Amino acid sequence: MTLKTGFATALVAAVVAALVTAATVVVIWRMAPGVVDAPGLEEKKIVDIVHNYLTKNPEILVEMTGELDKRQQAEQAAQQQKVISDNAEAIFRSPLDYAGGNPNGDVSVVEFFDYNCGFCRRALPDLVKLMDTDDKVRVVFKELPIFGDESEGAARGALAAGKQGKYFEMHQKLFAEPDKADKDKAVRIASELGLDVPQFEKDMEDPSVQQALDEAKELAQKLGLQGTPLYLIGDRIVPGAPDDLYDQLTAKVAEVREKGCKATC
């Protein structure tokens, strides 16, 4: 909400500034014939005319805000489609990531997440339910520790557990147990899971673990990700953890099965 409000305020300021230009005056003139005599107007007169017109017709700014928002969303969606297509191998089939569900599934669902993200924690049961109820879905987990060193320690722990075949068990426990997820919690869970703890701690610093984190971060930046979780269902996108996440995921999985991807996925 704060971002939206700030955006609207900035937009109003930008619109008013832009309307001072002669080109914008012509636009206003076309919208309201006879209100503005564009040729030869001085800047102060233009400002006065624009001010008076917008004061009498404030709904124009609301309409412009809405239209600009729609255009920006469309541009972002087009850009994201291109990013998905251009980076399909790294997004859907990176050997650095753990893939749950059916490894040969016909639709891939990709999740970018952080173990200290409350919305990610809330969304986990929906993702598990999807894997339990659809035996043709493949789920790819992208470790994106955006909440600092503690989150990175947890992410490294999950990836290290994967080297001993216990990624998803570690993944679930890091979310399920109370308090923040960090390296110490990951090490304790590794012991509880019966892992070789010295090897586990060594694997946390393995170059492939850093490579996985770097790859996920780079992809997130290209996609314009602004928070976790983010889900890609083929080339369809679900941001955040809406209350109907399971329904949205299943609907988009069905849509991808029926229509395929617009981009490469």
Tell me how long the chain is: 265
Longest dimension (CA), the chain: 82
For the chain, how many structural domains are there in total?
A: 2
Q: How high is the pLDDT of residue 129?
A: 97
Give the Cα separation of 66 and 261 in Å (integer): 28
Query: Looking at the structure, do residues 204 and 73 belong to the same domain, yes or no?
Result: no
**Same-domain status, 122 and 60:** no
Q: Is 264 part of a structural domain of the chain? A: no
The answer to whether residues 59 and 16 belong to one domain is yes
Of the candidates 221, 218, 247, 258, which has an alpha carbon nearest to the alpha carbon of residue 106?
Answer: 258
Are both 77 and 132 inside the same structural domain? no
Q: Is residue 265 part of a domain?
A: no
Query: For residue 37, what are the domain limits?
Result: 2-86
Q: Is residue 228 part of a domain?
A: yes
Kindly state whether residues 181 and 118 are assigned to the same domain. Answer: yes
Outline where DSSP puts E strands in the chain: 98-101, 107-113, 137-143, 230-233, 236-239
Contact criterion met (CB below 8 Å) for 61 and 9? no
Q: Tell me, what's the pLDDT at 5?
A: 40
Residues 142 and 175 in one domain: yes
Strands 107-113 and 230-233: antiparallel
Strand, helix or coil for residue 239: strand
Q: pLDDT in tens for each of the 265 residues of the chain?
A: 333 444 444 444 545 455 444 445 444 544 455 554 555 556 677 777 777 777 777 777 666 666 555 665 556 666 778 989 999 999 999 999 999 999 999 999 999 999 999 999 999 999 999 999 999 999 999 999 999 999 999 999 999 999 999 999 999 999 999 899 999 999 999 999 999 999 999 999 999 999 999 999 999 999 999 899 999 999 999 999 999 999 999 999 999 999 998 877 8
Same domain, 53 and 97: no
38 within a domain of the structure (yes/no):
yes
**Amino acid 76: pLDDT:** 60
Instruction: List the beta bridge partners of residue 142.
Output: 112
Query: Is residue 78, in this structure, part of any structural domain at all?
Result: yes
The Cα 184–Cα 201 span in angstroms is: 10
The answer, as to whether pTM is greater than 0.85, is no
- Do 128 and 36 sit in the same domain of this protein? no
Listed residues 86, 116, 134: the one ending a domain: 86
* CB of 187 closer than 8 Å to CB of 157: yes
119 and 213 share a domain? yes
- Enumerate residues 6+ apart whose C-beta is below 8 A from 94: 140, 212, 215
Q: What is the DSSP letter of 236?
A: E
Of 86, 116, 149, the last residue of a domain is: 86
210 is a domain residue? yes
- For residues 77 and 119, membership in a common domain is answered with no
Backbone angles phi, psi at 156, to 5 degrees: -60, -35
Whether 116 and 180 have beta carbons less than 8 Å apart is answered as yes
Domain C-terminal end among 68, 86, 104: 86
27 lies in some domain = yes
Residue 215 CA to residue 141 CA, distance in Å, equals 12
Residue 111: which CATH number?
3.40.30.10
Would you state the pLDDT for residue 9? 45
If asked whether residues 81 and 92 sit together in one domain, one would say no
pLDDT recorded at residue 69: 56
Same domain, 54 and 101: no
Contact 252, 238 (CB under 8 A): yes
For every residue of 75-135, DSSP letters joined together read HHHHHHHHHHHHTHHHHHS-TTSEEEE-TT-SEEEEEEE-TT-HHHHHHHHHHHHHHHH-T
Dihedral sign computed on CA atoms, order 35, 38, 41, 47: positive
